[in-house]
Amino acid sequence: MESQTKPRILCVDDDRVTLRAIERSLLTSGYMVITADSGNRALQTLQSVKPDLILLDAMMPGLDGYEVCSRLRQNPEFNSIPVIFVTSLEQKEDKAKAFALGAADYITKPIQKETLLNKVASHLETHARWKELDQDEGPAKQVDLQPSAEVAHRSAGLLRSDFPQFRLFLSKQAALPPGKQDRILALNPKDLYSLASELGVSDEQIAKWVAEFLQLPYLQNVGAEKVALGVLPPPFCKTNLVLPLTDEQKRTFVLSNPFNWELLRLLKKYESPTNLLHLCITEPRNILAFFKGGVQGTQQTTAAPVAISDIEKKLRERYQPAEDTSSTVLDGSTEESEPLIVLVNQLIENAYSMGASDIHIEPWENEILVRYRVDGVLRIVNRFTPRTLIRPLVARIKIMSDLDISERRLPQDGRIIFKKYTSRGFDFDLRVATAPMNHGEKVVMRILDKQKAVMPLTNLGFSTRNLTLYRDKIETPYGMILHVGPTGSGKSMTLYAALNEVQTPEVNIQTCEDPIEYTLAGINQMQIHREIGLTFQRALRSYLRQDPDIILVGEIRDKETAEIAIEAALTGHLLLSTLHTNDAPSTVTRFIEMGIEPFMVSSSLVLICAQRLLRRLCKECKEEYAPNSDERQLIGVDYDTEVTLHRAKGCSACNGTGYKGRVGIHEILVPDDAMRKAINQHGITSEALKRMAIETTDMTTLYWDAMEKARQGITSVEEALANVRRDEFDSRPRWMFEELGLRSRQYEKSAA
Sole window of 130-138, 145-153, 439-447, 611-619 interacting with Zn ion (rule: CB under 5 A): 611-619
The nearest distance, CB 184 to Zn ion, in angstroms, is 21
CB burial readout 191-208, b (16+ within 10 A) else e: ebbebbbbbbbbbbbbbb
Residues 736 and 701: their CA atoms lie apart, in Å, by 11
> What is the DSSP code string of 348-397?
HHHHHHTTEEEEEEEE-SS-EEEEEEETTEEEEEEEES-GGGHHHHHHHH
Q: How far is the CB of 716 from Zn ion (least distance, A)?
A: 12
User: Min. distance of Cβ 649 from Zn ion in angstroms?
Assistant: 6
- The residue among 363 and 656 lying less far from Zn ion, judged by its C-beta, is 656
Q: Cβ of residue 593: shortest distance to Zn ion, in angstroms?
A: 44
**Residue 109 CB burial class (10 angstroms; 0-12, 13-18, ≥19):** middle
Q: Which is nearer to Zn ion, 446 or 616 (CB)?
A: 616
Q: Taking the complex as a whole, how short is the minimal distance between the CB of residue 36 and Zn ion, in angstroms?
A: 45
* Residue sitting closest to Zn ion (CB): 618
Write out the E strands in 517-633: 524-527, 550-553, 574-579, 605-617, 623-625
Query: Is the Cβ–Cβ distance between 352 and 426 less than 8 Å?
Result: yes
Which one of residues 618, 634, 669, 717 is an interface residue with Zn ion (CB under 5 A)?
618
Q: Which is nearer to Zn ion, 660 or 666 (CB)?
A: 660
The answer to whether residue 534 forms part of the interface with Zn ion (CB under 5 A) is no
Per-residue H/E/C for 126-156:
HHHHHHHHHHCCCHHHHHHHHHHHHHHHHHC
Which range, of 236-244, 401-409, 420-428, 619-627, touches Zn ion by CB under 5 A? 619-627
Query: Which range touches Zn ion (CB under 5 A), out of 34-42, 44-52, 59-67, 648-656?
Result: 648-656
- Least spacing, CB of residue 650 vs Zn ion, in Å: 6
| Binding of Zn ion by 651 (CB under 5 A) | yes
Q: How far apart are CA 663 and CA 376, in angstroms?
A: 11
How far is it, in rounded angstroms, from Cα 108 to Cα 91?
Answer: 10
Q: Which stretch binds Zn ion (CB under 5 A): 150-158, 384-392, 613-621, 707-715?
A: 613-621
Cβ 613 vs Cβ 606: under 8 Å:
no
Should residue 653 be labelled a site residue for Zn ion when binding is judged by CB under 5 A?
Answer: yes
Binding segment toward Zn ion, per CB under 5 A, in 55-63, 245-253, 341-349, 646-654: 646-654
State the minimum distance, in angstroms, from the CB of residue 543 to Zn ion: 46
Judged by CB under 5 A, the stretch of 448-456, 470-478, 525-533, 616-624 that binds Zn ion is 616-624
With binding defined as CB under 5 A, does residue 46 bind Zn ion? no
Tally helices (H) and strands (E) across the chain: 30, 23
Return the range that interacts with Zn ion (CB under 5 A); candidates 508-516, 620-628, 699-707, 715-723: 620-628
By beta-carbon proximity to Zn ion, the closer residue of 120 and 618 is 618
The DSSP output letter for 682 is T
Nearer to Zn ion, 14 or 375 (CB): 375
Q: How far is CA 166 from CA 151, 186, 217, in A?
A: 19, 12, 16
Residue 335: burial class (beta carbons within 10 Å; 0-12, 13-18, 19+): exposed
Q: CB nearer to Zn ion: give 22 or 621.
A: 621
Which of 404, 620, 695, 739 is the binder for Zn ion (CB under 5 A)? 620
Segment interacting with Zn ion (CB under 5 A) among 147-155, 433-441, 473-481, 612-620: 612-620
Of 458, 479, 496, 464, which Cα lies nearest the Cα of 700? 464
Alpha-carbon dihedral sign for residues 119, 120, 124, 125: negative
| Site membership for Zn ion, residue 374 (CB under 5 A) | no
Name the region of 656 (left: φ>0; alpha: ψ -120 to 50; beta: rest).
Answer: left
Question: 66 by DSSP, 3-state: which?
Answer: helix
CB of 656 to Zn ion, least distance (A): 8
Identify whether the C-beta of residue 383 lies closer than 8 Å to the C-beta of residue 399.
no
Rounded least distance, CB 370 to Zn ion, Å = 24
Instruction: Find all residues with CB under 8 Å of 110, minimum gap 6, and list them.
Output: none
Cβ distance to Zn ion smaller for residue 502 or 651 = 651
Amino acid at position 258, single letter:
P
What residues contact residue 460 under an 8 Å CB cut-off, 6+ apart? Answer: 490, 493, 494, 497, 663, 664
Tell me how far, at minimum, the Cβ of 651 lies from Zn ion, in Å. Answer: 4
Q: Which of 199, 621, 645, 692 lies at the binding interface for Zn ion (CB under 5 A)?
A: 621
Q: 60 or 618: whose CB is closer to Zn ion?
A: 618
Radius of gyration (C-alpha) of the chain in whole angstroms: 33
How do beta strands 53-57 and 8-12 pair? parallel
Specify the residue, 315 or 618, whose C-beta has the smaller distance to Zn ion.
618
Judged by CB under 5 A, the number of residues near Zn ion is: 6
Instruction: Give the per-residue contact string, 440-469, with Zn ion (x = CB under 5 A; - = no).
Output: ------------------------------
Which span sits near Zn ion by CB under 5 A: 164-172, 418-426, 653-661, 685-693? 653-661
Select the residue interacting with Zn ion from 654, 706, 710, 736 (CB under 5 A).
654
Q: Using CB under 5 A, list all residues that contact Zn ion.
A: 618, 620-621, 651, 653-654
